[in-house]
Amino acid sequence: MKLSRREVLRLAGSAGVLLPLSESACLHGRPQAKLLESRLPLPKPFEATLPIVPVLKPARTDAAVDYYEVSVRQASARILPGGNTAIWGYNGTFPGPTIEARRGRRVSLRLRNELPVPIVNHLHGGHTAPESDGYPTDFLLPKDYGALLTSDPRARVKWGEREYVYANEQRAATLWYHDHRMDFTAPQVWRGLAGFYILRDDQEAQLRLPSGDKEIPLMICDRSFDADGSFLYPSLDPSLRGQAGVTTDYMGGVLGDVILVNGAPWPKLEVANTRYRFRILNASNARRYELALEPAAGAGSFVQIGSDGGLLEVPIGHRSIRIAPAERFDVLVNFSRYRTGSQVVLVNRLAGGRQGEVMRFDVVRQEREESRAPYALSRIDFHDAASAISTRVFDFSYRGTGGWLINRKPYDPARMDAQPKLDSTEIWRLQTDFNHPLHVHLVHFQVLSHSGRPGPYDAGWKDTIDLGPGQAADILVRFSGYRGRYVFHCHNLEHEDMAMMGNFEVI
Ligand code: C2O
Ligand code: CU
């Protein structure tokens, strides 16, 4: 039996009604991402210290596996200077604890759901077996949550606890984990369900890149706050137990007015006059950034060494970095270009005012350089485009009250949009009407073209590609490792929740 999305939503207890849009939020009839203004005075910039997210300790280890246990629960966090913010967090923290994994050693992550709603966990960028990938209906329900929530006959639903297994048979890379509950990913990530997952290997260790306190993951995301300090979000049903979706004016995406890095508003970090490695993640729902340093340090302001899927072949210098939701940039910044005493602001050129600043680096001390300036980084065995056995076209567009669609269809777990063969290589042609950061689960891909030649940020292995209005990209994808069902979708989380997602099954 095939169910329409509407029936699925109805069975799931949500109405899924998409109402007409107000003019102000539209651009050529498409709803734009919209700023949600906080209902309290915004904190001053560069007063908080950048939090360094703690690395999670395994509950136990054996010869081949590291076992982690994490409870997902409500907690209160000190984000604003004036008071506490209720969050939903992995182990009650936001960002979630960082998981550090080693290539070749498995990770077993046992999650316990202590929230009042279903959750799903996805390791973004992970080459993961389907039963651990966090398919959007593979709900982990609270222990005593009664009814089954989905009509998807293939859903693997569990109550209380579930184990996710990550093989870590892939290149070292900056991955991240986040919630993926069908129709509710955006509000659940907004409340705090996101964390880093750093995969390391021996080859990378030999490069003597900056390490220890000079290797810092930076999770950048925007949020808005209610008058009482809680997160503000335009959910139709803030309990997240009934109707899914946001008020119509935010259908294009929710933009916060407070920029957080590792959970602190516009923080500062004291640095030495040496090289640092920053693993930058844009964990925002809908905001894209163009990051630059002020004062600038020329074309080598950021030396990019890695992308979504790990190290590049050779470093690439950038004056600025455009980063869309879910993308990662692994960069070196050399503070020896600045005098001790300098203050270097990480700015966002895509916004003015308060959202035009992200954080500040204060160069406060001199130290000897211990790291090496890498020339060659890694070897990449790219696929051969000539080996592609088929080309599939996916159109990502807004269709009036139908919502955000792929090939004119809304997400439906019952419909398969592609069935690539195991170990085959395909070209996927992605085309868009609007800004959409597009993500494919299971694979990393190579960008063949991006409205012309690959762009300056398309090097290496990608799992998310940012398309602008009217753009098209050809990506080369190889489906290896696992048979089974996965999703691909827009990573603007409001677009994702409002149906811009499709299925593929490796057969
Ligand atoms: Cu980062 Cu399907 O997600
Ligand atoms: Cu989108």
Q: What is the pLDDT of residues 92-148, one digit of tens each?
A: 999 999 999 999 999 999 999 999 999 999 999 999 999 999 999 999 999 998 876
Q: Which ligand is nearest to the CA of 396?
A: 2
pLDDT at 169 over 80: yes
pLDDT for residue 19:
37
Ligand 2 centroid–CA 31 distance in Å is 11
For residues 176 and 125, the answer to whether their CB atoms sit within 8 Å is: yes
pLDDT at 365 over 70: yes
Q: Is the CB of 462 under 6 A from ligand 1?
A: no
Per DSSP bridges, beta strands 26-27 and 30-31 are: antiparallel
Ligand 1 centroid–CA 121 distance in Å is 10
pLDDT for residue 331:
98
- Closest-CA residue to 70 (of 131, 10, 17, 111): 111
Query: DSSP secondary-structure letter at 93?
Result: B
pLDDT for residue 502:
98
Q: Is the CB of 124 under 6 A from ligand 1?
A: yes
pLDDT at 6 over 50: no
Q: Is the CB of 328 under 6 A from ligand 1?
A: no
The rounded percent of the chain whose pLDDT value lies above 70 is: 94
Closest ligand 1 atom number to CA of residue 326: 1
Which residue has the CA at smallest separation from atom 3 of ligand 1? 124
Which residue has the CA at smallest separation from atom 1 of ligand 1? 124
d(Cα 437, Cα 472) in Å, to the nearest integer? 12
Lowest mean pLDDT among 18-27, 377-386, 438-447: 18-27
Q: Is the CB of 495 under 6 A from ligand 1?
A: no
pLDDT at 470 over 80: yes
pLDDT for residue 148:
66
Question: Residue 389 class from Cβ within 10 Å (0-12 exposed, 13-18 middle, 19+ buried)?
Answer: exposed
Q: Which ligand is nearest to the CA of 125?
A: 1
Q: Is the CB of 180 under 6 A from ligand 1?
A: yes
pLDDT digits (tens, 9 = 90+) for 325-361: 999 999 999 999 999 999 999 999 999 999 999 999 9
Ligand 1 centroid–CA 465 distance in Å is 12
Ligand 2 centroid–CA 36 distance in Å is 18
Report, as an integer, the average pLDDT of 137-164. Answer: 90
Q: Which ligand is nearest to the CA of 30?
A: 2
pLDDT for residue 28:
62
pLDDT for residue 475:
98
pLDDT for residue 16:
36
Q: Give exposure, 143-177, as e/b (b: 16+ Cβ within 10 Å).
A: eebeeebbbbeebebebeebebebbbebbbbbbbb
Ligand 1 centroid–CA 497 distance in Å is 11
Ligand 1 centroid–CA 136 distance in Å is 10
pLDDT digits (tens, 9 = 90+) for 7-18: 333 333 333 334
Collapsed DSSP state (helix, strand, coil) of residue 113: strand
